[in-house]
Every structure is written in C-alpha cells, then in structure tokens.
Amino acid sequence: MSSTADLLARRNRTIGPYSPLFYREPLQFVAAKGVWFTEASGDRYLDGYNNVPHVGHANERVVRALADQAATLNVHTRYLNDRVIDYSERLLATFADDLDRVFFGNSGSEANELALRISRQLTGATGVIVSDYSYHGTTIALAEMTTGLETREPLGAHVRAIRIPDLDRDSRPEADVLAATLSEVDAAIASLQEAGFGVAACLFDPLFSTEGMPRVPEGLLPEIASRVRVAGGLVIADEVQSGFGRTGSHMWGHELTALSPDLVTMGKPMGNGHPMSAVVTSEPVLDAFGSRNEFFNTFAGNPVSAAVGEAVLLEMEEHGMMARARSLGRTARAHLDGVADSYDFVRAAKGTGMFLGLDFAVDGAPAPELAARVVEEMKARKVLISRIGRDQSVLKVRPPLAFGEAELPILLDALDASLASVRA
Amino acid sequence: MSSTADLLARRNRTIGPYSPLFYREPLQFVAAKGVWFTEASGDRYLDGYNNVPHVGHANERVVRALADQAATLNVHTRYLNDRVIDYSERLLATFADDLDRVFFGNSGSEANELALRISRQLTGATGVIVSDYSYHGTTIALAEMTTGLETREPLGAHVRAIRIPDLDRDSRPEADVLAATLSEVDAAIASLQEAGFGVAACLFDPLFSTEGMPRVPEGLLPEIASRVRVAGGLVIADEVQSGFGRTGSHMWGHELTALSPDLVTMGKPMGNGHPMSAVVTSEPVLDAFGSRNEFFNTFAGNPVSAAVGEAVLLEMEEHGMMARARSLGRTARAHLDGVADSYDFVRAAKGTGMFLGLDFAVDGAPAPELAARVVEEMKARKVLISRIGRDQSVLKVRPPLAFGEAELPILLDALDASLASVRA
C-alpha cells in the first residue's frame, strides 16, 4: 500500500489534482463494514456522512447477491430476464398506484437527464424551474441548471432558479413567505412563456438537501407543482438524496411533502454503491416517450444490478431500517434542537430521519468557518460528517441507514465535544 | 421461473412494451459462461454478438475481483484509494504518452457527454461534426447528434452529420472518394462557423460500427481531424465499441486508423458488464476543465469498478486475447471473403479482428431482409449475431473477446448453413 504522500502524487498524475477530496488532510480508507471505516493507519472512523452504502458498507446480503448473480448471468435487457422484472415489481410497489413504470439507468445524472428529456419531448417546451442552490448531475443539460456548485456553463436562458425560503432564517409570517415564493414562481413561468421557452418541468429535491435543508412553508412544493402543471409542465422529484426511507417517515421524500410527481428520479443508495439509477413514472408518460424513441441503455436493468437493488430493499425491510431511521432521527433531532438552544452560534437544527443538520450563524450571518471547524473536530474524534447549504454553514449528518442505536451516542458525544471545543 | 408469455406480460407492465428485444421470438437466458448462454429451455447458444462480456460471461477472475472488493470497500473518490490509482495507471499505460489523464464515469453516454462538455468549454464553441449514421448515447446533448437510431429530437442546429463513404459501395477512385468527403467536412466547418456555432469537436467511432463498418479511404479520419483542429475544435474518438483490443491489431481503434485524438471515450467492455466508463485525455485538457469546474461523479472510480476494470485488463493480457482476436479474425475474415465471392447477394465482407460483417445486396441495392433472415437462421442454429448499418443490411458478428478456436468453426458452419438456407 502506498503512503499518503505517494498516493496523492500518483493521483495527481492520473485522475488529476482537481478531483475533490474531503478534509484538510485527506483520509485513506482500506476497508469498511456496516457503518465503520478502517483507515490505512488501522484507525476506525464512524460513518455519519455516506448515504450511498445505504444498508451498510460491505453488506453481506448485497455482496452475496452481487457475486452470485455476476457468477450466473449479467446481460442487457434485449433478452428476457426474470431478475429485472422481479426487481421492477418490488420497486414499483413502494410507489403510489399511478407511478407504475420504470426506466433504469446507471447514475443519478442519467436519471435526471432522462426525466428532463422526457419532459421536453412530452411538453414541446424547454423551460425548467429549479431551486437557486441545487445540483442534479454532471451532464451538459444538467450543468446548465446547476447553481449549487461551480460549473463553467452559465445558467441556461431557459432555466429559472427560485430562491427556496427557510423559515429558520426568515422573520415574516409563514403565509407571507409562501406567497412571496409562489409569486416568484409565477413570474418565472411568465418569463419562460414570454421568452418562448414554455415550461417543460420543475425539478426539485423534496428535502432541498444541497440547499441546506431549509424549513419551508407548509404546502410549498405542491403549490409550485400545481402552477407548473397549469403552465403545461411536468413535475420531477429528484429522490437521489431523499429517497429509500431516509426521512424515516416515508419511503420517498415527495410523500413527506405531499408532492405528486410525474417523474421520480433515484440513484445513490439504490444499489448500495453499485452504479444504478431509475426514473419511475406513469404508463402514459412511458408510452408517450417509448413509442417515439428507440431508447436503450446498455448496462441499465442488467440482472446483477437488479439482484443488488432487490437485496437493498430486502435488507431495509428485514431490519426495519426506515422505522429505525424514524426513531433514531427523533432522538437525534431532539438532541440537535437542544444544541441549537444552548449555543449562540447555532441558529437552528435541521432535517428529519437520518438526514440532519445544524445551521451555524453569528449575529444573524451564516458562519461557514464554524461549520468547517466542527467537521474537522468531528474528524479528529473519528466521526465523519460534512456541510452543505448556500453558505456551507449547515452541518450535514447523513449516515448509512444501517446506522444503529449503538452508534448514535458516539456521534452525538463527538458532536457535543466538537461544539464545546469550537466554543472554547 | 416465469413462462415466456407471462414474463413478457409482466415486462410490459413494468419496463414497458417499447424496451427493445432481440429476435422475432425473444430469448430468455438463465445463465452464461465464457461464450455460451443457457436458455430457460436448457438449450445452449453460442454468443457471437455481445461485446460487453469482453473476457467472457461470468469470468472467474472478474467475478472474484468484484466480490472481494465489494466485501472490502466500495466508496467514492473523495477519500484516497489505492485501487482507482492502480487501475488508472494500468489503463493509461495502454495509451500514447500524451494521453495520460483519466476521468471515470458509469456509462458510455456519461463518457461522451463529458468529452463533449469539455470540448465545448475549452473551445467556447458548440458546433459538432459526427457521422450521419451514428449513435453515441442517450442524453439530450447526444440525442441531438443522433442519426443512427430513432430519436424524437431533431438534429441540433449546431450539428453537422457527414456521410462516411464505403469503398465497397462506391465505384469512384479512392482518392476521389476521400476528396469528396473532405470537401463535405470543409463545407460543414464553414457552415458551423458562418452560423456562429464554431467548431467544438468532431466525434467518431474509429470503426464506424453503427454505420455498418464501411471500408473508408486511407487517411480519412486523420484528415478530418486535422481540418477540425485548424477550425479550433477537439477530436474525440468513441472507443465504446472499437476499444480494448477488439480489432486484434491494436488496443484502441484510433490507433488502427492513425488518428491522434484529444479525448478518448470508452465504456461497454471496460468492466465486463459492470457499469463503468472513462474519458482519457491529456494533462492540459484535464487541467483546463478541472480547474474551472467542481466536477465529481459519485459512483465513478469507486474501488469495485477499479478492481473489475483491472481484472479485465489482466485477463486479456494473461490469455493473449488481443493476439487471438487477430489470428481468429484473419481466419474468419478469409472465410467471409470467400462467402462474398460465392454468394451473389453478399456484396462484401466487413471488419477486422473480432468485429466482422457481411453486407447483403441484391442488384446493387441493400438487402436488409436477407440480413434479417440470416440472423434468424443463425438463431435457429443456436448462434447469436445481429445486423447493423444505415440499411440494416450488414451482419454484425462481434463476440466476446474470450471467443476461442473451438468456437469459430461452430459459428462459421452455422453461417454457411444459414446462407445456404437463405439462398435455397
């Protein structure tokens, strides 16, 4: 095994110096099991950050499904194959009745691209409404909609980015905040129509993860959706971060917000790290797109991915992971609410289930440097978290759903100690 | 296991009736090993078609690498990780010295999207030159460049599709054919510049697989590339089909045609069916893009994909698969040339290495229905092939590179019998 310095040098000469790394001093892991990493030094780190290894790093059922199916058959969907249909049925059973068809892909970017492509074709429009600090993928079309990280592409002329309000940062009455945002949406729609783009879709992560988990007015997303539909657009819920039971209360983030999407995209946790994604939609939408395009994705829906996806769903179910996320999330959120009350520089606790945060602010202004210090303090205590939000001032606590009762006190103790250390 | 009829009905109710299937009566496979499928009926089929299971279906080394690494660690590249760097070095060692950096992705579509995105950013232009019967992926930007299958998107105003000539179908002297194509390229470049798009890139599969493996004039691609470069554009080689030693003579298709690309994209065979892809480029190109964009792809470059990719390269090397593709390809091509001489309705044999074809024509007109009949006759003899080309008149023989000396006579005997049956 390489030393860290040597590995960094080799990394710079292959995948390059811009490939992002976490932490001031990067970590080099050699193994992981459940919610624990083992570093090259032998030290163990608790994973409070990674949502991709959803049912736990190196989950035995998932690895067995992967290995067994790969040793048996791995091929595209141009031949008939039981596994992908079994899995499709199991996945679709977690959705409302009208969301009963699925396209598979290999990444969240592919899923969002396809949802956008379908929306453009079905509406004949190109205009898109997104949140003004969001991220949905790496492709050209998605880069033109990106406001949540640095891309060289300017925001597309056909894109309108709406500021998602945060009641924790807004002193106006909730109804006024809602009305202001909806009038921003109305103006965006009018502007897209006047410019001739029309409205193809709105695309939102129901939890507004990248945005920093704002506490939004009741009914915000359904109200936006109904306006977009009146303008002829489709409604896309990006569940790459909020799906698969992460909220604890619902399998899908859009259910939590009472949004009824036309298209639901999913990725990251779907295959526990195996590259796979999907767009779930209705029969009319699938038919309208499928009948007009020869659409085929070589790797998508292969039996190995299907076996892995099924193992993830079975593992979640057998271990009651969603219910556990709910109960642990409540305990954790209560603790974070207490922290927010105790620390001047913590504006509010954020999130639900196994997606939680703390918003740092000093004299009403976001305090990203405090959040950064807490992230590093947590790392020094061998607990991994990160930060998000337009100001990078919100701690991002988003562990594998395999996170258990034994681990929660370790994370919260490390957080308390880190906060005390930052205050000192 | 479901009956075929039941499975088809369930398939229509989940992934839908438009998801393409091969053959008049689709095949349902339950297992595959090496170059042999096992059908639900228990019958075995020889795989003369699939390039994704490059080193053989259910290859033991690949499955072991996949299972071992998935049981150890599977995580993104924001932590340091030996496996992805080891693999990057091994992969880059197969390229010319100036192609020494790599971006990873999860599909050929992602690779071509990124190559296009990089080209647009680095040139400040959007114009693209492709072949007029080509396919490079499923995204919106790639659909706007697609002419090789049905998409609802019209050809982009910024796209020029060049007719790739086939000397087997053209009676003019080779030099005249070359000159005519290059003047078409000159006109395309002028038109892109006049329209204000400029030239961002040309993007070609060096073997022109989708186009039906035309026999092109010597020097065609380097000549096109030099014109594109003069106009400020970058040169992208799409090696999704032609790479990884398929030609038998070279690791990469662009080497066969003496093309020096700025960006090389690869996918399908790279992970033997595990979803992975890459863009290989130079240090200046990586730096120019990386320094201006926060670019990160969650699944890409994970240690499981790296372990699998490495196993593919090792397996190719250990079993001398490229050399075998060369020698078997010569034998097969000689046989196909003999067929072309013997049958009135076979215009020409096509291809090289383990990517071969026969072009069917009657009275000088493409005969797709004959090609279709041969494909079905081959299936009846339990050998899988397909057809390609603008007229769907070219047989597509593109087996796993694990194809061996024992299998070649089986395929060629079945082909002879199928041709005789079609002539009868």
B75, B268, B300: residue with CB nearest A298: B268
CA distance, residue B341 to nearest chain A CA (Å): 33
Interface residue of B47, B73, B305 to substitute, partner A, most A CBs within 10 Å:
B73
Write down the ipTM of this complex: 0.97
pLDDT band with cut points at 50, 70 and 90 for residue A150: very high
How many other C-beta atoms are found inside a 10 Å radius of the C-beta of residue B187? 12
How many other C-beta atoms are found inside a 10 Å radius of the C-beta of residue A238? 31
Nearest CA in chain B to A298: B268
Burial B338-371 (b: 16+ CB within 10 A, else e): ebbeebebbbbbbbbbbbbbbbbbeeeebbbebb
What is the DSSP track for A52-65?
A: SSTT-BT-HHHHHH
Quote the CA–CA distance of B94 and B89 in Å, as a whole number.
Answer: 9
* A395: nearest Cα among A412, A409, A408, A410: A412
A124 touches chain B (CB under 8 A): no
What are the pLDDT digits (tens) for B209-228? Answer: 999 999 999 999 999 999 99
Could you give the domains of chain B?
A: 32-55+321-423 (3.90.1150.10), 60-318 (3.40.640.10)
A76 touches chain B (CB under 8 A): yes
A27, A121, A153: residue with CB nearest B79: A27
With beta carbons under 8 A apart, name residues in chain A contacting B296: 19-20, 138
Cβ pair A398, A47 in contact under 8 A: no
Contact flag A140-B62 (C-beta cutoff 8 Å): no
- Selected residues 345-404 of chain A with any CB under 8 Å from a CB in chain B: none
Interface residue of B10, B29, B30, B74 to substitute, partner A, most A CBs within 10 Å:
B74
pLDDT of residue A1: 61
Give the mean model confidence (pLDDT) for residues A57-74. Answer: 98
Residue A281 has which token pair? 């939609």
pLDDT of residue B4: 87
How many other C-beta atoms are found inside a 10 Å radius of the C-beta of residue B226? 14
A52, A77, A116: residue with CB nearest B140: A116
Contact flag A298-B149 (C-beta cutoff 8 Å): no
B103 touches chain A (CB under 8 A): yes
Instruction: For tokens 């590093």, name the residue.
Output: A376
CA distance, residue A349 to nearest chain B CA (Å): 26
Quote the CA–CA distance of A76 and B57 in Å, as a whole number.
Answer: 12
pLDDT band with cut points at 50, 70 and 90 for residue A424: confident
State phi, psi for A418 to the nearest 5 degrees: -65, -40
Nearest CA in chain A to B299: A275
pLDDT of residue A4: 87
- Selected residues 149-168 of chain A with any CB under 8 Å from a CB in chain B: 149-153
Quote the CA–CA distance of A270 and A53 in Å, as a whole number.
Answer: 9
Cβ pair B301, B307 in contact under 8 A: no
pLDDT of residue B1: 62
- The fraction of chain A above a pLDDT of 70, given in percent, is 100
Interface residue of B38, B152, B153 to substitute, partner A, most A CBs within 10 Å:
B152
- Selected residues 295-314 of chain A with any CB under 8 Å from a CB in chain B: 295-302, 304-305
- Residue A3 predicted with pLDDT over 90: no
**Mean pLDDT, all residues of chain B:** 97
- Residue A124 predicted with pLDDT over 90: yes
pLDDT of residue B247: 97
B111 touches chain A (CB under 8 A): no
- Selected residues 222-281 of chain B with any CB under 8 Å from a CB in chain A: 267-268, 272-276
Q: Who's near B107: CB < 8 A, 6+ residues apart?
A: A105, A106, A107, A110, A297, A298, A299, A300, B137, B267, B275, B277
Cβ pair B236, B201 in contact under 8 A: yes
pLDDT of residue B321: 98
With beta carbons under 8 A apart, name residues in chain B contacting A101: 14-16
Instruction: For tokens 């440097």, name the residue.
Output: A369
CA distance, residue B22 to nearest chain A CA (Å): 5
- The fraction of chain B above a pLDDT of 70, given in percent, is 100
- Residue A35 predicted with pLDDT over 80: yes
Give the mean model confidence (pLDDT) for residues B1-10. Answer: 88
**Contacts by residues B150-157 (CB-CB < 8 Å, ≥ 24 positions apart):** B150/A292, B150/A293, B150/A294, B151/A293, B151/A294, B152/A121, B152/A292, B152/A293, B153/A117, B153/A121, B156/B128, B157/B195, B157/B197
Residue A350 has which token pair? 């954020």
With beta carbons under 8 A apart, name residues in chain A contacting B102: 14-15
A25 touches chain B (CB under 8 A): no
B17 touches chain A (CB under 8 A): yes
pLDDT band with cut points at 50, 70 and 90 for residue A276: very high
With beta carbons under 8 A apart, name residues in chain B contacting A283: 16
- Residue B408 predicted with pLDDT over 80: yes
A-B interface: how many C-beta pairs under 8 angstroms? 333
Quote the CA–CA distance of A307 and A408 in Å, as a whole number.
Answer: 30
Contact flag B70-A152 (C-beta cutoff 8 Å): no
How many other C-beta atoms are found inside a 10 Å radius of the C-beta of residue B377? 18
Interface residue of B38, B55, B140 to substitute, partner A, most A CBs within 10 Å:
B140
- Residue A265 predicted with pLDDT over 70: yes
- The fraction of chain B above a pLDDT of 90, given in percent, is 99
Count CA atoms closer than 13 A to B258's CA, side-chain side.
9
A92, A107, A152: residue with CB nearest B293: A152
What is the DSSP track for A120-177?
A: HHHHS---EEEETT----SSHHHHTT--SS--SSPPPTTEEEEPPP-GGG--S-HHHH
